[in-house]
Amino acid sequence: MGVITSPSQFRPAGPPDLASARYAADLNETESMGSLSSPLRSPDQTLAALFWNSTTPAYLWSHVAVELGQRHHLTLSENSRLLALSYLAMADAAIACWDAKYHYVFWRPVTAIPLADTDGNPATVADPAWVPLFATPAFPEYPSGHSTVSSAAAAVLEAFFGATDFTMDSDFMPGVVRSFGSFSAALDEVLEARVFAGIHFRSACQDGRTTGADVAGYVLEQALQRVHGFDEDAGQH
């Protein structure tokens, strides 16, 4: 671990009960929007799902951190602190996320949708032929790793730079650039990208987003504090 005191310190409350209306809404959304042949998913939504799956959250967000640092003319020491806090927050967010994944061991859509007639929920319907847009990762569904780690990174960046626009690209998808007016907008797209890929339910992404922000807030309070205090002219750099 880096800064958090235990892997379970920020463990979320868990996925919705299988018999609940929330679970039915989650499953039905992923079933309709996340299937390989979904007629409801737009080309841009498919592109976003591919983009956010093209590499790791750490790769994507570290590039944003460097770009914003250059835009705001951070010094070497300020850049070092920014990147160190970003990676501490992302690492601890991943620890918190995987603790929760193996605590709850919740099924993925690729299993839940074909077996929906066994979940005890009358608002879900099994589709044995359902196939997700992406191959399903080989670990439990709840919470979303990408949403958790991305939220931690975004929280650190927002603490440094405040509300700001930015762009994001991936070396693994040359020529594709995603533009955002805020960190919240980017996190909204991460959430939908994982649902529309057919590998997550919305609750897992929402709870992961909350967990990542909570971890980042703790890291910002506990780690790498300024030796000489806050500089009002420089901002929180």
Summarised one tens digit per residue, pLDDT across range 43-97 is: 999 999 999 999 999 999 999 999 999 999 999 999 999 999 999 999 999 999 9
The arithmetic mean of pLDDT across residues 158-180, rounded, is: 96
Question: Has residue 93 been placed in a domain?
Answer: yes
Question: Has residue 229 been placed in a domain?
Answer: no
pLDDT at 226 over 90: no
pLDDT for residue 227: 73
pLDDT at 123 over 80: yes
- As a whole number of angstroms, the distance between CA 149 and CA 138 comes to 18
Question: Has residue 35 been placed in a domain?
Answer: yes
Question: Has residue 99 been placed in a domain?
Answer: yes
Question: Has residue 155 been placed in a domain?
Answer: yes
pLDDT at 232 over 50: no
The arithmetic mean of pLDDT across residues 8-31, rounded, is: 98
Which structural domain range is residue 113 located in? 24-222
Letter string b/e over residues 7-33, b meaning 16 or more CB atoms within 10 A of that residue's CB:
bebbbbeebbebeeeebbbbbebbbeb
Question: Has residue 204 been placed in a domain?
Answer: yes
Domain count, the chain: 1
Where residue 142 sits, what CATH number does that domain have?
1.10.606.20
C-alpha closest to that of 204 among 217, 214, 216, 195: 195
Question: Has residue 114 been placed in a domain?
Answer: yes
Whether pTM exceeds 0.85: yes
- Residue/partner pairs of 107-110 with CB below 8 Å, 24 or more apart: 107/140, 107/141, 108/136, 108/137, 108/140, 108/141, 108/199, 108/200, 109/27, 109/30, 109/31, 109/34, 109/136, 109/141, 109/198, 109/199, 109/200, 109/201, 110/136, 110/198, 110/199
Q: What is the mean pLDDT of the chain?
A: 95
Share of the chain above pLDDT 70, in %: 95
Question: Has residue 16 been placed in a domain?
Answer: no
